């Protein structure tokens, strides 16, 4: 009875759930039918078609624009940010009220589009994501982009945009990522960008902007990443950057900033990648890094940093790459730095460090640059036992220690005085085919091969000790760099195209040394060709790279910001020759190509920057008095000739003697056979039958005795 009552009481609830279920199903079907019937807003549809027509592009393989744009991949959960098959592509948001869809994402990435940013983009007012990187867009960044106030990501990098940055971009209050690096912009950053308080990432490296960093940027406290290298920023790095407490990556290389590095950066304890370079005028110290223990990359190259390397470097347990080169550091190298288990790349060259090399080294530390310091003493055993790329050029190690401890390194005559063949001098010229095999030019110059394998901190000394090459530097995050570049393209502007088709490249500092030279004035000829970037006439993003480096001779800067393509009116694969006069006074010549943080980093691929050179020739501007031959060359040549003649005559004489003896022996054998066997009748010879009859059958009664050839009969 109780059970029946319970069933009766539950019937109203069951009816309620039944009708509620029907309502939900019918509502879902209604919404589904509405969504199916929804189409892209007509204004946006016309704008999208016009944009694609102007850019002469079409939809990606997974998205069909010929029908309804807001269908299929455009409305499902498929991601658009990094999908190569959904490019070009859009994403739509379809509401439930007016039956229209709106474009929220537009991606046209590395699609070889040309032309300007069309004004029709202003009609896509619901855009959240706009990515137009790696194309050949020209003209200005249009001010109307500031009206797309829903934008959270605006990416225009690696194009050929010009003009100034429009202040209207400051209206994009929801913007989280802003990128317009690697363009041809000019002028200063507008202060209005400081109102983008939600900005987390800004990529403006190689953009062309300059001036002071606006003080309004102090309000960008959500900033996590700022890349601003290779621009024309002046003044000082602002102290307020130290208030960006969420900052994890900061890059300020290759600008015109003055020192010092602001001490306020010490509060950026979340930093994992810090790259500041090429500060001038005022020195800095390393005190500010004492609490930055999360660093994995620390590059403070060429900043006039003085003082000692902190002794607690062993506490930086995440550090993988440390570059403190081209500064004024003094004191000893902390041993804890060499045993840091996380460290792979260490660059301390071009300082004034003294003392000895630490005796222990971590197995992970595979690249070490200690060149151009004041190091001395003996070499630790790991120098020859571990597979470490090591550069020790221009220190104070005694020659006998280097010859005995590490003869294979060829360092004994490449210390501070560069004594190779210098007492007395031996040479008066040299020519190098940088990065390639030996070659003879149309002008009759014999260029020696320079195709040895170099690493990120390495040296090669030729067997003749006529010249040497030293390389230091990484190509960003590029792995497996070979430090040479080859092209099959025809090089114009020269009779020797092949001479320019292979080149030596460097990610930082490339030095060539002429050794054992007779003192006096010399003519230095440097040959270049930009073979990495596509020709500008191709109108592709691969042609937008820009290479800039400095040229030093004998330690004196001859050219600042040398740009090969500026010398050729923008052309690639065209030969450039630069001639200089230098004075050699200590029997060696140094040619130094130095990257000062300028130029694009990643066009057409990661690590496409730094010095490049195709060939070098150096000739005397006086009448030499030296042989210009390697020390042992004449002796080896004469000895080899004499030995060759003697051996040849001896062999021929022996062959002749054996031939004569053989012929004589052969003739004697023939005579004996003819004499004994009676091959034919001759005077005083008898046949066997005649002898048998004359001796009565060789009767013993007729036998007279025995001779040398047998029995004698009468």
Using one digit for the tens of pLDDT, what is the confidence trace for 149-166?
999 999 999 999 999 999
CA dihedral (611, 409, 322, 511) in degrees, to 10, reads -20
| Greatest C-alpha distance within the chain | 166
Confidence of residue 712 (pLDDT cuts 50, 70, 90): low
> What is the C-alpha radius of gyration for the chain, rounded to an integer number of angstroms?
41
Listing DSSP states for 426-459 in one string gives -BS-EEEEETS--EE-TTS-EEEEE-----SEEE
Confidence of residue 704 (pLDDT cuts 50, 70, 90): low
**Residue carrying structure tokens 């606006």:** 214
Confidence of residue 147 (pLDDT cuts 50, 70, 90): very high
Residue pLDDT, tens place only, 572-607 = 999 999 999 999 999 999 999 999 999 999 999 988
Pairing of strands 703-707, 710-713: antiparallel
Listing DSSP states for 62-116 in one string gives T---SS-SSSGGGTSS---SS-TTS-SEEEEEE-SSSSEEEEEEEE--SS--EE-
Q: What does the pLDDT average to over 678-684?
A: 39
Beta bridge partners of 329: 307
Confidence of residue 657 (pLDDT cuts 50, 70, 90): low
Phi-psi region of 283 (alpha: psi -120 to 50; beta: other; left: phi over 0): beta
In this predicted structure, the answer to whether residue 649 has a pLDDT above a threshold of 50 is no
Q: How far apart are CA 565 and CA 576, in angstroms?
A: 9
**Domains delineated in the chain:** 308-415 (3.80.10.10), 430-620 (2.60.120.430), 636-713 (no CATH)
Of 174, 114, 189, 11, give the one whose Cα is nearest residue 539. 114
Token code pair at residue 18:
């039944």
Token code pair at residue 510:
């490339």
| Number of C-beta neighbours around residue 605 at 10 A | 12
In this predicted structure, the answer to whether residue 29 has a pLDDT above a threshold of 70 is no
In this predicted structure, the answer to whether residue 274 has a pLDDT above a threshold of 50 is yes
Q: How far apart are CA 350 and CA 552, in angstroms?
A: 15
Of 221, 229, 274, 219, give the one whose Cα is nearest residue 256. 229
Residue pLDDT, tens place only, 359-386 = 999 999 999 999 999 999 999 989 887 7
Of 235, 357, 376, 353, give the one whose Cα is nearest residue 305. 353
Q: How far apart are CA 703 and CA 698, in angstroms?
A: 8
Q: How far apart are CA 487 and CA 490, in angstroms?
A: 8
Q: How far apart are CA 441 and CA 148, in angstroms?
A: 59
In this predicted structure, the answer to whether residue 668 has a pLDDT above a threshold of 80 is no
Q: How far apart are CA 272 and CA 296, in angstroms?
A: 5
Pairing of strands 184-185, 162-163: parallel
Q: How far apart are CA 121 and CA 124, in angstroms?
A: 5
In this predicted structure, the answer to whether residue 316 has a pLDDT above a threshold of 90 is yes
Q: What does the pLDDT average to over 430-452?
A: 97
Mean pLDDT across the chain: 86
Pairing of strands 703-707, 615-620: unpaired
Q: How far apart are CA 629 and CA 427, in angstroms?
A: 7
Q: How far apart are CA 586 and CA 469, in angstroms?
A: 18
Query: Are the CB atoms for 307 and 286 separated by under 8 Å?
Result: yes
Q: What does the pLDDT average to over 336-355?
A: 97
First to last CA, the chain: 166
DSSP state of 597: S
Q: How far apart are CA 199 and CA 177, in angstroms?
A: 6
In this predicted structure, the answer to whether residue 408 has a pLDDT above a threshold of 70 is no
Q: How far apart are CA 180 and CA 204, in angstroms?
A: 5
Q: What does the pLDDT average to over 559-574?
A: 97
């Amino acid at each position: 009875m109780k059970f029946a009552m319970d069933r009766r009481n539950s019937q109203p609830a069951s009816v309620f759930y039944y009708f509620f279920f029907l309502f939900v199903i019918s509502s879902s079907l209604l919404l589904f039918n509405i969504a199916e019937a929804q189409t892209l807003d007509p204004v946006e549809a016309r704008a999208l078609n016009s944009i694609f027509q102007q850019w002469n592009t079409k939809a990606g393989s997974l998205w069909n624009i010929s029908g309804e744009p807001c269908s299929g991949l455009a409305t499902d959960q498929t991601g658009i940010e990094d999908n190569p098959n959904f490019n070009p592509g859009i994403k739509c948001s379809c509401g439930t009220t007016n039956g229209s869809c709106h474009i929220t994402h537009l991606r046209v990435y590395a699609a070889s589009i040309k032309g300007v940013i069309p004004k029709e983009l202003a009609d896509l007012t619901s855009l959240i994501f706009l990515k137009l990187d790696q194309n050949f867009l020209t003209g200005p960044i249009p001010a109307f982009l500031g009206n797309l106030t829903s934008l959270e990501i605006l990416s225009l990098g690696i194009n050929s945009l010009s003009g100034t940055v429009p202040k209207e971009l400051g209206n994009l209050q929801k913007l989280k990522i802003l990128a317009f690096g690697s363009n041809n912009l000019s002028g200063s950053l507008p202060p209005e960008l400081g109102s983008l308080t939600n900005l987390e990432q800004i990529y403006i490296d190689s953009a062309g902007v300059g001036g002071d960093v606006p003080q309004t940027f102090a309000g960008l406290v959500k900033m996590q990443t700022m890349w601003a290298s290779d621009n024309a920023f002046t003044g000082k790095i602002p102290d307020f950057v130290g208030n960006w407490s969420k900052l994890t990556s900061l890059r300020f290389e290759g600008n015109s900033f003055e020192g010092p590095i602001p001490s306020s950066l010490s509060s950026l304890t979340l930093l994992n990648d810090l790259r500041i370079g090429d500060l001038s005028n005022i020195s800095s110290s390393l005190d500010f890094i004492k609490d930055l223990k999360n660093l994995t990359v620390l590059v403070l190259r060429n900043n006039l940093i003085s003082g000692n390397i902190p002794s607690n470097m062993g506490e930086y347990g995440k550090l993988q790459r440390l570059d403190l080169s081209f500064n004024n550091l003094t004191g000893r190298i902390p041993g804890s730095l060499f045993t840091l288990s996380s460290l792979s790349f260490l660059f301390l060259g071009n300082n004034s460090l003294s003392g000895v090399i630490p005796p222990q080294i971590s197995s992970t530390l595979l690249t070490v640059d200690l060149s151009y310091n004041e190091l001395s003493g003996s070499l630790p055993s790991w120098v020859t036992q571990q597979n470490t790329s090591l550069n020790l050029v221009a220190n104070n190690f005694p020659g006998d220690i280097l010859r005995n401890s590490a003869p294979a390194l060829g360092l004994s005559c490449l210390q501070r005085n560069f004594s190779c063949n210098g007492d007395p001098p031996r040479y008066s010229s040299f020519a190098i085919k940088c990065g390639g095999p030996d070659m003879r030019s149309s002008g009759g110059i014999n260029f020696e091969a320079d195709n040895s394998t170099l690493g990120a901190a390495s040296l090669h000394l030729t067997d003749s000790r006529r010249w040497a090459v030293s390389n230091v530097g990484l190509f960003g995050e590029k792995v497996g760099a070979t430090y040479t570049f080859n092209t099959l393209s025809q090089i114009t502007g020269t009779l020797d195209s092949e001479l320019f088709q292979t080149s030596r490249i460097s990610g930082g500092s490339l030095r060539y040394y002429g050794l054992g030279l007779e003192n006096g004035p010399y003519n230095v000829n440097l040959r270049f060709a930009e073979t990495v970037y596509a020709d500008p006439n191709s109108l592709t993003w691969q042609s937008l790279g820009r290479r800039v480096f400095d040229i030093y001779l004998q330690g004196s800067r001859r050219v600042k910001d040398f740009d090969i393509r500026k010398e050729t009116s923008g052309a690639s694969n065209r030969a450039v020759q630069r001639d200089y006069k230098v004075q050699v006074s200590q029997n060696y010549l140094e040619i130094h190509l130095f990257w000062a943080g300028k130029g694009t980093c990643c066009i057409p691929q990661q690590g496409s920057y730094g010095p490049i050179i195709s060939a070098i020739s150096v000739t005397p501007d006086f009448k030499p008095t030296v042989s210009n031959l390697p020390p042992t060359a004449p002796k080896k040549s004469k000895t080899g000739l004499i030995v060759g003649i003697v051996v040849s005559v001896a062999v021929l004489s022996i062959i002749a003697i054996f031939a004569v003896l053989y012929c004589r022996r052969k003739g004697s054998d023939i005579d004996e056979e003819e004499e004994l066997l009676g091959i034919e009748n001759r005077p005083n010879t008898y046949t066997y039958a005649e002898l048998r009859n004359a001796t009565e059958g060789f009767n013993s009664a007729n036998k007279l005795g025995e001779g040398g050839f047998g029995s004698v009969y009468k």
